[in-house]
Amino acid sequence: MFIKISYFYKIVNDFLSPVVKSKRAEIGGRIFLIHQFLIVLEKDLTMEPTNIKDPEYFHKVVDCQYACPAHTPVPEYIRLIAQEKYTEAYMVNWDSNVFPGVLGRTCDRPCEPACRRGRVEEEPVAICRLKRVAADNKGDVKQLMPQGPFKPNGKKVALIGAGPAALTLARDLAPLGYEIHLYDEQKLGGGFMRSQIPSFRLPETVLNEEVNFILDLGIHTHFNHYVKSLKEVLANQYDAVFVGTGAPKGRDLEIPGRKEADANIHIGINWLASVAFEHTSKIGENVIVLGGGNTAMDCCRTARRLGGEQVKVVVRSPFAEMKASPWEKEDAQHEDIPIIDNHVPKTFVVEGGVLKGMLFEKVQAVVENGKRKLVPTGEPDVLIEADDVLVAIGQENSFPWIERDAGVEFDQWNMPVVDEKTFCSSHPKVFFGGDAAWGPKNVITAVAHGHQAAISIDLMCRNEALTNRPSPYVNLVSQKMGLHEWAYESEVVTDNRYIVAQADKKVTLSNRKKEVELGYSLSEGFKEAQRCLNCDAQTVFTDDKCIECDACVDICPTACITFTTNADETTLRGQLKVPALNTGQDLYVSGPLKTQRVMVKDEDVCLHCGLCAERCPTSAWDMQKFFYNITKAHTGCL
Amino acid sequence: MTYIRPKFRHPELPKNKLGYTISYYEGALSTLCAGCGHDSISAGIVQAAYEMNIEPHKLAKLSGIGCSSKTPAYFLSNSHGFNSVHGRMPSVATGANMANRDLIYFGVSGDGDSASIGMGQFVHVIRRNLNMVYIVMNNGCYGLTKGQDSATADRGSKNKSGNVNLFQSIDLASLAIELGATFVAQSFSGDKTQLVPLIKAAMNHPGFAFINVISPCVTFNNNVGSTKSYDFVREHVEATATIDFVPMMSEIKAEYTEGDSKMVKLHDGTYLKLHKLSQEWDPLNRLSAMNAVHNAREKDEILTGLLYMDPDSGDLHEMIQTSDRPLNTLTEKELCPGPEVLKNINADLR
């Protein structure tokens, strides 16, 4: 029986479902039994050879870089730190994440939970704090940055808000000759990095230095300038407008007593800003901080430094579910701040017009129908005394200055409609990024947004389609230098994660500006850097060189490699030397070998030690350094 | 120098009945050439010992001299080991086995160590049916001394420098059958699915168990024209049966199942499951096994798998009726029972 191949695809599209057994299909006036074709399909469901020419395949193997919103080449800079090339390490960071000094202290570290090391032992590499080692020990980096004045290209861009997203955009576009106008209501740039992150976590000098690297590129700053109208901005003949105004509105808690006690109830983010700009320097002795996020942690620790003797964090949810990063919770507890969980605020207790404390209902988390609920325990309500309450229960976007008829469409939640790839709003000249685009995230996400919005603005100004985005810069180079020599340090050390030392609590609690973390010393930094598994040293397999001697299978310390008959992915995962259960990690599958088997490598716990390549008699395995860098507006177009 | 094996292992490595992961059976990092077949055999031994739930201190590995005889350093680090004199491993194994019959004796040798300098010892240990596993890692050349032809190099096989071997080769497997070995198998280092069950069955065999494993020398004997190269062996390999070592199981009643499958019951209630590929062959019949080997050689094939076994073999201790208790545990009290016993013995002789 003949059937044209085009029919075959039609059948696949129309009828492929697991329940099909013997469905009849009419094609060209003839009846076909579908199960006959499923036999053909099963054969085709064996895994295709992995396409390692797709840059995303090896990118995904570099877990940290893949997890980083800005895709910072992490292993690359960690190696530079190990080589004491701090300046170069800083510049690798600066290119990708723009604020290495700031992020080396305050990043949310999406890279660390992703770190491969966390899958073979307890703790990931301290990627974030290594970044700080580069930032603290860098030499003269300014000479390595783009040097102005730049030849103007005649285009003007307005940036509203001087936070990380807008500053990133300024840095990417200024070297191309754009005239950048940066607006912010505060007297200095930095946005939330300045107003929300307390100085004991991020010294002002560090922030100022990195903000100034950008401002020194010839940015026209309009500080102390609150932008009241988007229409007004658009009327100023800007070629593009970027909105990076963050999520500036702290959520309030409307429960009884709120109004009466207003004088002693403060919205967390406003209060932090007021401390940062030195409008506030005192707080009562008894302080309650409401909320379980990182802002709550910053609030309570700041309160401890402004006179709060008894500072308590009170959270609705159980401790383990708090949004704050584990290390921030630890730091708060280290400063004698109890975190009281499972307490839902009921009322502010006011006596004689003065706040006395708060009443809480005790709850417990119960799972009902797969949903987690907080159910009252029935115990009597708890009174916690307080002179001041800081409310840090979330923040929201707010765009009172954007006229709703200015051409920017807003959705039902009063959020601008923004394209996820191009960051362009429904107005072709208005772009959004950072927290302003889709609500509060973090600094590194804002930086990533800034890079992408810069590319969009540059494409638009050159009259190119915004979808025509530049490919990443990719390179793959063999690391083999000799019989047992690789260009990278392939030895896998077993050291545990090194702890970052902190300054004496007595000193830090008495001085709001004294940085708590001391950072790694150079020798600690070196040792921590050695823990990196060099996931960018990729194991590259060449099918036709393999003689199937099994040397790689036998030597692999983590049993990643198996030679087996090909099958569909689920079956294949099950028939490996150790079944590959982590489906988040890919299988590297070769083409058919001489024995008709395929090589399958589970990328999950590969240590990148290079022993497969070292024991390979024919160099079918090779360790090749994979470098992947997101193209930015300034690198792509220069 | 970066040639260091990391300490980390796969976090989900399964454990055997003793609670050990396979890494407990590993040895030091191999210093053999990259791609050496011997390393695959070592890995096969590690896997077999792990799957057989062997307590490492209940096993002694013995070897002579040569690339193959270096390998006991690369597996079972927690077991006993004796690296002896060239070709003299069988006598050391005999002595050890006589002293302590409770250990598993695992001899590793090469084609030089067994077919040349150690031939005398090899044939006599077979005659005595000493209870041990004897693996020859057979690469047809002297890899440790730059690849000269060994006594197992096939006539007409070409070495790396292009010289053709003029001499007849010694076929260790048929020699072993001829001399009355009670378990003879042949395998290929590049086929662990066959090799591992064979090693397991060999360890379980109560007598002399011989496995001749063709193990290509990637450095000196993996060239075109060699009959012991990866490519040549893969093209000419012919298996007697696919083999599976079945641990103790009660549900099998008949010794023979239908079709080409054969269950061979072993002395301790375990089974060897063979899916026969070669029709005119009975693994329990010495003559049939001999014929199968010779027929394959006629056709330029390398016959692998289990060739012959006598499941009811009685080993050396049985033959010479030694004490059930290992000799090394007998104290002076048992060994010198006193003048009364001597008197009785002398009385018997009168």
For A199-219, the pLDDT digits (tens) are: 999 999 999 999 999 999 999
At residue B23, what are phi and psi to the nearest 5 degrees? -65, -20
Instruction: Give the number of beta-carbon pairs within 8 Å between A and B.
Output: 105
A192, burial (CB in 10 Å: exposed 0-12, middle 13-18, buried 19+): buried
Mean pLDDT of B104-108: 97
Which residue(s) pair with A358 in the sheet? A348, A384
**In this complex, is the C-beta atom of A490 within 8 Å of any C-beta atom belonging to chain B?**
yes
For residue B312, what pLDDT is reported? 85
Go through chain B and tell me how many residues it has. 350
* Cβ within 8 Å, pair A555-B5: yes
For residue B296, what pLDDT is reported? 85
Q: Which residue ranges does chain A devote to CATH 3.50.50.60? A: 156-248+397-461, 251-394
- How far apart are the C-alpha atoms of A268 and A490, rounded to whole Å? 47
**In this complex, is the C-beta atom of A491 within 8 Å of any C-beta atom belonging to chain B?**
yes
pLDDT at residue A5 tops 50: no
Fill in the DSSP letter of residue A594: T
CA neighbor of A535 nearest in space, from A115, A57, A77, A104: A115
Which of B8, B30, B189 lies closest to A557 in CB terms?
Answer: B8
B342, burial (CB in 10 Å: exposed 0-12, middle 13-18, buried 19+): exposed
- How far apart are the C-alpha atoms of A232 and A95, rounded to whole Å? 33
Instruction: Classify domain A156-248+397-461 at the CATH topology level.
Output: FAD/NAD(P)-binding domain (3.50.50)
- How far apart are the C-alpha atoms of A215 and B45, rounded to whole Å? 67
- How far apart are the C-alpha atoms of B5 and A609, rounded to whole Å? 8
Query: Radius of gyration (Cα) for chain B, nearest Å?
Result: 21
* Cβ within 8 Å, pair A494-B7: yes
**In this complex, is the C-beta atom of B327 within 8 Å of any C-beta atom belonging to chain A?**
no
Q: Which domains does chain B have, with CATH numbers?
A: 22-319 (3.40.50.970)
Which chain B residues touch A494 with a CB distance below 8 Å? 7-8
Shortest CA gap A528–chain B (Å):
17
Q: Could you give the percent of chain A with pLDDT greater than 70?
A: 92
CA neighbor of A149 nearest in space, from A216, A239, A223: A216
**In this complex, is the C-beta atom of B31 within 8 Å of any C-beta atom belonging to chain A?**
no
Task: Pick from A122, A488, A491, A615 the residue to mutate for testing the B interface (most B CBs within 10 Å).
Answer: A615
Which of A578, A611, A618 lies closest to B5 in CB terms?
Answer: A611
Task: Kindly report the pTM of this predicted structure.
Answer: 0.87
Which chain A residues touch B13 with a CB distance below 8 Å? 559, 578
A13, burial (CB in 10 Å: exposed 0-12, middle 13-18, buried 19+): exposed
For B290-300, the pLDDT digits (tens) are: 998 888 888 88
The helix/strand/coil state of A517 is: strand
For A461-511, the pLDDT digits (tens) are: 999 999 999 999 999 999 999 888 899 999 999 999 999 999 999 999 999
Q: Judge if the upstream peptide bond of residue A149 is cis by omega within 30 degrees of 0.
A: yes
Shortest CA gap A138–chain B (Å):
29
Which chain A residues touch B5 with a CB distance below 8 Å? 555, 557, 609, 611
pLDDT at residue A22 tops 80: no
CA neighbor of B179 nearest in space, from B124, B107, B113: B124
pLDDT at residue B72 tops 50: yes
Q: CA torsion A26→A31→A33→A34, rounded to 10°?
A: -20
For residue B189, what pLDDT is reported? 94
Mean pLDDT of B132-158: 95
- How far apart are the C-alpha atoms of A381 and A395, rounded to whole Å? 28
- How far apart are the C-alpha atoms of A237 and A233, rounded to whole Å? 8
For domain A251-394, the CATH architecture is: 3-Layer(bba) Sandwich (3.50)
For residue A20, what pLDDT is reported? 41
Token readout for B69 is 């005889």
**In this complex, is the C-beta atom of B192 within 8 Å of any C-beta atom belonging to chain A?**
yes
For residue A13, what pLDDT is reported? 47
pLDDT category, A16, cuts 50, 70, 90? Answer: very low
Query: Radius of gyration (Cα) for chain A, nearest Å?
Result: 28
**In this complex, is the C-beta atom of A282 within 8 Å of any C-beta atom belonging to chain B?**
no
For residue B244, what pLDDT is reported? 75
What are the CA-CA distances from residue B293 to residues B98, B129, B287 (Å)?
33, 21, 10
ipTM above 0.90, yes or no: no
Mean pLDDT of A9-32: 51
Token readout for B231 is 């490519």
**In this complex, is the C-beta atom of B279 within 8 Å of any C-beta atom belonging to chain A?**
no
At residue A149, what are phi and psi to the nearest 5 degrees? -70, 145
pLDDT category, B313, cuts 50, 70, 90? Answer: confident
Q: Could you give the percent of chain A with pLDDT greater than 90?
A: 89
Mean pLDDT, chain A, rounded, equals 91
Mean pLDDT of B216-221: 94
Evaluate whether A585 touches A596 at the Cβ level (below 8 Å).
no
Between B192-204 and B37-51, two packed helices, what is the crossing angle to 10 degrees? Answer: 50
pLDDT category, B264, cuts 50, 70, 90? Answer: confident
